[in-house]
Structure 1
Amino acid sequence: MNETTQARASHRFRASAGRGFDAWIDPNLIGRWLFVTSPAGLAQVHVDARENGQYILVDRRDGKDVIHCGAYLVIERPRRLVLTVFVPEHSRFTVRVEVTITPAEDGCVVDLVSEVGNDQLELRDQLAEGWRDMLAHLDTVIPAAAVQGDPQ
């Protein structure tokens, strides 16, 4: 049996759960925060936001294209997403990511779990740090919402 360990990240947003969820499926929002290292955003964004739909995101780093790709396995708006992430430039492993979005009185909380093998502890720690940084950046991208009356 292949044992796994989890990289975890969590962030509280002032935006509604609906807006927090849409940041994972809306190409315009994704291109401004997910795997972005350039102030200009991603060089390419292709998103088929449906269960079993694929995505390809291209970040230009130091003149070189870095591809992030995967598939949406579960889409349960506005509470839960499960997707895969594969970055051939940096790893030979596909990572399963589960995103849970919980409405809160003043916004929402996004909890993220990435599963990796127990033999990939360094990758686990890098993933956790990377997800925390990306979620903090997302907080500057999605606008705060008056939670009452905002689509959940």
Structure 2
Amino acid sequence: MPLANTKTSQSAKAHVRHTFTASAEDVFDAWLDADVLARWMFHPNIRQEEVINLSLDGRPGGTFRFHVRRGDEKLEYYGTYYDVNRPTQLVFSWISAKDHKKTLVSVTIQENNTGCELNLTHELGACAEDYIHFVEMRWRAEFAILSELVN
């Protein structure tokens, strides 16, 4: 993806907020159930991807590994869960095997009168500003699919 804005941020962070009518427990659990996660994080309406294998151990110190196919390319994502506090907080590293750049994803979920609100911060490190917007758009699209599954 060519970037129109090549200005670089050294400590870039993507921020996304999404409101669900589902309970905080249902939204939280969708992050740690491999079958459910595959249906919203790698949905074909977001990007033409085929899930090859997803494995995860959703506890502090546990790891995940996602293998997907995008066209002729096989991609692998992996990471470690640092903080797992059902149903309010999830913190994990996110690494693409393509570039091995370690990023950090922090998710907080707050119950409200109509369901819950999810706040995500994805610490990207040094990257072009356009990439921050791309990452935010990707998370928003994934949360829209997640809403369809859990609401």
Instruction: Please state which band the TM-score falls in when normalised by the shorter chain.
Output: 0.7 to 0.9
SS of the equivalent of 2:51 reads: coil
Alpha-carbon offset, residue 39 of structure 1: 7.6
Residues 40/123 of structure 1: CA separation in 2 closer, same or farther (3 Å cut):
closer
8 Å CA contact 1:33, 1:41 repeated in 2: no
Unaligned runs of 5+ in 2: 1-8
Two-structure CA RMSD over aligned residues (Å): 2.2
Matches within 5 A, 1:88-107: 88-89=97-98, 91-107=99-115
SS of the equivalent of 1:15 reads: coil
Residues 81/108 of structure 1: CA separation in 2 closer, same or farther (3 Å cut):
same
Matches within 5 A, 1:70-89: 70-89=79-98
Q: Which residue of 2 aligns with 1:126?
A: 134
Structure 1 segments of 4+ aligned residues over 3 angstroms from their partners:
35-41
Unaligned runs of 5+ in 1: 145-152
Q: Which residue of 2 aligns with 1:6?
A: 13
- 55, 60, 63: which is aligned to 1:51? 60
**Corresponding letter in the other structure for 2:19:** R
Q: What is the CA–CA distance in structure 2 between the aligned matches of 1:122 and 1:93, rounded to whole Å?
A: 17
**Corresponding letter in the other structure for 1:129:** M
**Corresponding letter in the other structure for 1:42:** V
Percent identity between matched residues is 27
Cα deviation 1:52-78 (Å, max 9, x = unaligned):
111011122114321111111100110
SS of the equivalent of 1:126 reads: helix
8 Å CA contact 2:42, 2:49 repeated in 1: no
TM-score w.r.t. the length of structure 1 is 0.82
Number of residues paired by the alignment? 141
Alpha-carbon offset, residue 40 of structure 1: 8.3
Q: Which residue of 2 aligns with 1:147?
A: none
Residues 120/93 of structure 1: CA separation in 2 closer, same or farther (3 Å cut):
farther
8 Å CA contact 2:17, 2:120 repeated in 1: yes
TM-score w.r.t. the length of structure 2 is 0.83
